[in-house]
Amino acid sequence: VLHRSRVRRIEEKSNRLCAAGGAPSKLPVTLITGFLGSGKTTLVNQLLRGEHGLRLLVIENELGSISIDHELIDASRQAAMPEGVVVLKNGCICCSGESPGSELERVLDKLLEMADVEGGSMPFDAILVETSGLADPSPIVQVLCRHEMIHSRYYLDAVITMIDAKHILRHLESSGPLAFTRRRPEAEKQLALADRVILNKVDLVTPEELELVAAAVRRVNRSALMVRTSNAKVQLDQILGQRAFSSARWEEALEGKLLVGDVVHAQHGSTGVTCVCLRAHTDLVLDRVQEWMQALIARKHDDLYRVKGVLAIVGEDRRFFLHGVHASQVLGHFDQSVFAPGSRESTLVLIGNRLDALQLEQDFAQLANSSAPPAPSSDKACDDCDENENLTASASEAQPVDAKSAEEAQLRRRPTAG
């Protein structure tokens, strides 16, 4: 009832604004989805930096109570337009709030209120919604497809799905003894519902591997336009202003056999995904962080979907960041970015398959106490690990935590993150 009345309010406000200001143009909403670490924030940064002259509003959504992505969105853009990034924390945009998708409604409603105050004009030309990596895009699309929304100031322009060419197959395909528990239906659904597929991280795979990935993508989604790239470098006209969303195709995808009863959302606690948020208020010793991550990767990298954090390191004014997807982990510093006075703390988010949250908390607490070595974790060793990683991080620039990825380090730095 609550959300019905909210969407009606959105429609009414839109009508009022239209009546007051002639016929203002509709605001396109682009939904950017994709599994954990596929490159969504990298794409958002590309779009923010692009020379399109559009004022973009970014609605960020993150799992866990700590917002790391917000820190990683182009800082200069944020400084120029601080109201241009809205972060929805500690809950998933697709299922938190009083009903699925209601968090997004709440933000869209507020934006109309802002426009009302501004005499009808919206301070943005387009909205980007970045979902969390485990989100089911359907409730968000459903919000934007409701009858009342269709008559509002907003319209869904396209669903863009980022694909990590290096890691997607392990989430889509069933093979090996642990395949059933490792396959991620969220990844499949995000892909199935795409209007545009960005096949990202092609720099990390061979041409033959890329063809296998493209074929797997096609098996799930036959019709979406597919763009192959690295570091989310795309032509802006392949993403913005697409008018690509079709509700008929959407309904067809939802009815498809592939999706029936397939998705059990991680937020509902039944898929074994753990999200661990860690904080430390004392500085960390770089070597110890590296040792800890190395040990964790060696044991758990198949299950370690995502690691991201901002770290305060002993003897360093600059903020360090830790960024990882499975075994590919990068530790380095933001170029010139330092902590604001009084805000020096380390925050780290780990998301994975059945992680031992208690053990990770204990290890991290010990890391924060630089005089005590981290206790060996009781996490069960990963039987089928096939990669053995070495730490090579240096204090002076971003380095891959795994030595094999040394050449990727420069590519994976976020030049404008700080």
Question: Rule CB under 6 A: which residues touch ligand GTP?
Answer: 34, 36-42, 69, 133, 162, 200-201, 203-204, 230-232, 306, 308, 323, 325, 330, 408, 411-412, 414
Question: Minimum distance between the CB of residue 295 and ligand GTP, rounded to whole angstroms?
Answer: 20
- C-alpha closest to that of 204 among 325, 77, 92: 325
Closer to ligand GTP by CB, 6 or 413: give it: 413
Residue type, position 227, single letter: V
Closer to ligand GTP by CB, 17 or 192: give it: 192
Closer to ligand GTP by CB, 25 or 206: give it: 206
Residue of closest CB approach to ligand GTP: 133
Q: b/e per residue, 217-242, with b = 16+ CB within 10 A?
A: beebbeebebbbbbbbebeeebbbbb
Question: Minimum distance between the CB of residue 124 and ligand GTP, rounded to whole angstroms?
Answer: 21
Question: Minimum distance between the CB of residue 387 and ligand GTP, rounded to whole angstroms?
Answer: 16
Closer to ligand GTP by CB, 37 or 97: give it: 37
Question: Minimum distance between the CB of residue 304 and ligand GTP, rounded to whole angstroms?
Answer: 12
- Give the C-alpha separation, 2 to 179, whole Å: 41
Closer to ligand GTP by CB, 223 or 410: give it: 410
Question: Minimum distance between the CB of residue 198 and ligand GTP, rounded to whole angstroms?
Answer: 10
For residue 101, give Cα distances in angstroms to 147, 157, 167, 335, 340. Answer: 15, 17, 28, 37, 34
- C-alpha closest to that of 182 among 15, 383, 341: 383
Closer to ligand GTP by CB, 153 or 166: give it: 166
- C-alpha closest to that of 414 among 357, 330, 347: 330
Closer to ligand GTP by CB, 72 or 368: give it: 72
- Give the C-alpha separation, 387 to 299, whole Å: 10
Question: Minimum distance between the CB of residue 293 and ligand GTP, rounded to whole angstroms?
Answer: 14
- Give the C-alpha separation, 93 to 341, whole Å: 32
Closer to ligand GTP by CB, 230 or 399: give it: 230
- Give the C-alpha separation, 344 to 361, whole Å: 19
Parallel, antiparallel, or unpaired for β 328-338 and 346-353? unpaired
Question: Minimum distance between the CB of residue 265 and ligand GTP, rounded to whole angstroms?
Answer: 15
- C-alpha closest to that of 45 among 72, 17, 83: 72
Question: Minimum distance between the CB of residue 133 and ligand GTP, rounded to whole angstroms?
Answer: 3
Closer to ligand GTP by CB, 154 or 320: give it: 320
Are 113 and 159 in contact by the 8 Å Cβ rule? The answer is no
- Give the C-alpha separation, 38 to 224, whole Å: 17
Question: Minimum distance between the CB of residue 199 and ligand GTP, rounded to whole angstroms?
Answer: 10
Tokens 């795409």 -> residue: 194
- Give the C-alpha separation, 395 to 384, whole Å: 32
